Chain A
Amino acid sequence: MSDTRLIRRLEAHGLRFAPAQAWNRMRLVPVLRDEVRDDLRFARREYSEWAAVVSLEGELEGRGLKYVSYVPHGMVVTWGQRQSDAVYGTRLNVRDGKKVMAGPAPVRLLHRMVHREDKNQLRMLPLHLAMEGFLAQHFGGPEVAWSEYSRDALTSGLNPRMESSVPGWLSSVLDGALRTFEVHEKQVGLLLFNADELLSAFVVSHPDDYRVLHRTLLEDFYGELLLQYGYLQEVVELWTPMDAKRVSSLGDLRAEVTRMREDWGAFHGFMAGGLFGVEVSSQKVYEAGPYLLQRFHTSLVPSEENHLGEAIVGKDGTLQYLKTYRLSAAQTRRAYLLQQLAQSQWNLDAVAEHMGSTRQELVTRIQNAGFGYLLKAHVLEEARRLATRGR
């Protein structure tokens, strides 16, 4: 029987969207929670090193699969029935991983993406968790030794698999937007729109934690969309007109203001429709008491908007934690290709047929996506020749 806490469709139950605050080309939508529970708390842990190496299998310094990235901060999650404020924060500063020098560069070696530190406490690397899951997908390469694949592809698959992303502090606009943003009293999260494209969603379970974690959004990484639309100076200031005809008393006026506010919530829900309400494939990562930590991705169809993410869902199915990453178009194409290849056991002809194209087109596509090294040279050459002749 599958776990009911595993997300199939992302829903914003128990969450409310408040009117957005716009700054330049960013639009930030506050996410509010009316019913706050305080048995799941989040805190920030800073890493000052230049890079982090996370061992996914095996010992800290032993052989095995590694995830390498710039990781400026981690998140400490504590849960429990009686998670009072006194307990909260007392055991946050335990020894975490190991610091080594790689030439001039300090590097932190970390043990696992999600590491249990105490009975009711774990340390996780936000977003990296989702990204690592994304990279690990179809990482191994072809399982059947088809003749088209290069020897490297057959022995080590897509190793090393890498993706690039944009750190938030690279965008001064995001900095300004986060600085001038006015945090609501009940706010537990934020939807980040760049030029009215949903870039990221972040939700925690407690407003106090959100206040502390608000600035970490600047250290997070985002899809290339953050730097795209650089020429678009400002998003328009949206506001809804009031219908004067419906007002004949101050009470009516109050009702109109309430309606305005609710309209905003609905509108932002609509704007975030690429994430909320669409079907996602999720995968269980860790069971933390009554909570389930999982990572997910949307359909990966290139024509749609695609997100990766991680979430914590409670026993009652409420979303207690969410952090997402918007894939760029190129990343989606790569993911889609790999997905298609894996589904057809990496058989080029079968994939081409399934995608409704020719074998040559598929090979060109694979090469354009940056996976040319998987295929033997003569296969690529043939595709290129056929393509030029066809023209």
Chain B
Amino acid sequence: MALPAEVRIEQVAREDLVMFVNACFSCTGQREFYGDARGQSVSIEFLHQYILGNYRRLYRRTLAAGINHFNQAQIILNLLAAGSPVDPAERAEEGALIAAALRRLPTQRAFRVLESLRSRHVNNRRSRAIVREYLAGRANLAFDAVKYRSKLRAAVVHGHVKLEGEFGPFLFKGWKKRVFTQPLFESFRRAHFAQEALYELPYTVAEGLAQKHGVPRDVFLQRIEPRLTQAERLRLQESAAREGGVEPAVDLSRAPLTKLALYVLSLKAEARASRREELHTALEGSAARVLARASSSLGKVAAVLDRSYSTSGSLQKRRRPLAVALATHYLLSSAAREYRAFWTGGPVEDVLTVSARGQTDLATPLLDALEWGAELVVIVSDGYDNDPPGAVAELTRVFRERLDRSRRTALVHVNPVFDAEEYAPRSFGGAVATVGVRDAEDVPTVLGFARFAEGTASLAELERYLSGRVDSWLKPQVHEGADEVEA
């Protein structure tokens, strides 16, 4: 029999960790619809420091929990800054986790971490080793050197890394050196003097140089097209059309689910209607690919999806909450045996035409979903319901109390928005488990995590869950670079 004090300590630890992991799924330190960026970053930084100081082992294991890249980068940085643990086993695990997490991060984020080591004055032996190992593991370091030249230089100088061959002259002399034998370096050098060489460089590097040479935007976009990565293509659709250029062709069948949903929502209504079939197929295919990686088969599932005005997000996260709702719709519809979507503001005939508009009346669709008799109800919303306010919290409380005491119906609230003041995604009270997400791709993961958010599982279970994820994560990776954003 545990002492009451111990029980309480365990409970606090569990609540802290659930809050932290939840925050790590949704918060990116960026502006949200209701909260500003400053509050967001202060809030998440505090959480990181607090968890690192109190639960270091669980803090590093969170890296494997499927949290978003922003928070993975934060954890890596904080761990490196804190120095390595004394215990050899702990040290080994932490080192392996950091190295694996860094390797899996999108390249630009990983290089940003390396650069941040310098600005945060972190220069211990372990971080130098991590930098060395990361650079040694890169498949095409010459490409990275061109694309992330200043960041790589910072990492090399700060970490005392010796690079062979022409890397030294390239990083430190750049285009001022006479001539390179490495073809990409040579293109980079020539592009500073001749327009023609521009089009052999990565897009982001060429963009700045094109400005310098005064190349018209539409000409530049047209000629650089073959060099664009998938993500760049998707991102450039809108601005290319605006600049009068030709939109670069995108291979929709390869785009990740949430990015694809964001792209669809950025299209005009007519474009969405005319390309309906194509977009629909792409979204379905993308959802299927997510499920192939993290399979989860569900029973009778209802989704309550928010499309109120607040899902338009902020300038930094434009339409993201709505995109997550749309992507979740596709994900659940292919994962569930039986599925139905209930949108706020009345039924939606064609999900591809949704837009962020109107007030948030979540109670009505939620009631519809319960009446339909779903086993699992997934609510995707930012947690603000205002018509009437507090209706979902009250409704679910009374529902649990009077109509569903045996918890036959599972209720999960998936929230893509982090509330800085509560240090957590905003919740609908105690009757619904709230979990944060950044991408809809995380939904299968967070559904597994939801039982911790609900508060029924114990700390030991949470620890077992995290260590299980660490084990599967640190196993030799089959899909090397599967998470890579760039082609």
Which residues from chain A sit less than 8 Å from chain B, CB to CB?
A: 18-22, 30, 180-185, 237-242, 244, 247-250, 253-254, 256-257, 260-261, 263-264
Contacts and interface: CB of A to CB of B under 8 A. Distances in A.
Contacts of A240: 388, 390, 394
6 contacts: A19-B388, A180-B33, A182-B360, A185-B357, A239-B393, A257-B395
Contact of A248 (B33, B367, B389, B402): B402
Contacts of B393: 239
A239 B384 CA distance: 13
A242 B397 contact: yes
Given A19-B389, A180-B310, A257-B388, A242 B359 contact: no
Nearest to B312: A182
B344 to A, nearest CB: 10
B310 A242 contact: no
Nearest to B399: A253
Interface in B88-121: none
Given A180-B34, A180-B310, A239 B389 contact: yes
B394 A242 contact: yes
**Central interface residue in B33, B310, B364, B386, by most chain A CB within 10 Å:** B386
B384 to A, nearest CB: 9
A25 B425 CA distance: 22
Given A183-B309, A253-B403, A244 B386 contact: no
A238 B390 CA distance: 8
Contact of A19 (B309, B386, B403): B386
Contacts of B394: 239-242, 256, 260
B401 interface: yes
B28 interface: no
Contacts of A249: 403
Interface in B318-336: none
Interface residues of B, number: 30
A237 B310 contact: no
A173 to B, nearest CB: 13
B169 interface: no
Contacts of B402: 244, 247-248
B391 interface: yes
A253 B359 contact: no
A328 B367 CA distance: 45
B98 to A, nearest CB: 39
Nearest to B386: A21
Given A244-B401, A244-B402, A247-B402, A183 B359 contact: yes
B360 to A, nearest CB: 6
Contact of A244 (B34, B358, B360, B398): B398
A10 B394 CA distance: 35
Which 8 residue pairs are nearest across A and B when measured between Cβ atoms? A239-B390, A182-B309, A19-B388, A242-B394, A182-B359, A260-B388, A257-B363, A261-B388
Contact of B358 (A180, A182, A253, A264): A182
A257 B362 CA distance: 11
Contacts of B33: 180
B390 A237 contact: yes
A256 B358 contact: no
Nearest to B34: A180
Contacts of A244: 397-398, 401-402
Interface string B219-230: 000000000000
A183 B370 contact: no
Contacts of A185: 345, 357-358
B144 to A, nearest CB: 41
Contact of B367 (A18, A242, A253): A253
Contacts of B371: 250
Given A182-B359, A247-B403, A253 B388 contact: no
Nearest to B402: A247
A242 B388 contact: no
A19 B398 contact: no
A240 B393 CA distance: 11
Contact of B389 (A181, A238, A253): A238
A253 B387 CA distance: 15
Contact of B398 (A184, A238, A239, A242): A242
A185 B309 CA distance: 11
Contacts of A22: 389
B434 interface: no
B308 interface: yes
A153 to B, nearest CB: 53
A73 B240 CA distance: 35
A257 B394 CA distance: 9
A209 to B, nearest CB: 16
Nearest to A18: B387
A18 B388 CA distance: 8
A30 B308 CA distance: 15
A261 B359 CA distance: 13
A185 B308 CA distance: 11
Interface in B368-415: 370-371, 386-391, 393-395, 397-399, 401-403
Contact of B387 (A180, A181, A250, A261): A261
Given A180-B34, A182-B360, 18 more contacts: A21-B359, A182-B310, A182-B359, A239-B390, A240-B388, A242-B398, A244-B401, A247-B403, A248-B402, A250-B367, A250-B371, A253-B399, A257-B388, A257-B391, A257-B395, A260-B391, A261-B387, A261-B388
Contacts of B401: 244
Given A180-B310, A256-B398, A18 B359 contact: yes
Pick from A181, A185, A238, A242 the residue with the most CB of B within 10 Å: A242
B431 to A, nearest CB: 12
B37 to A, nearest CB: 14
Interface string B29-45: 00001100000000000
Contact of A253 (B309, B345, B398): B398
B430 to A, nearest CB: 14
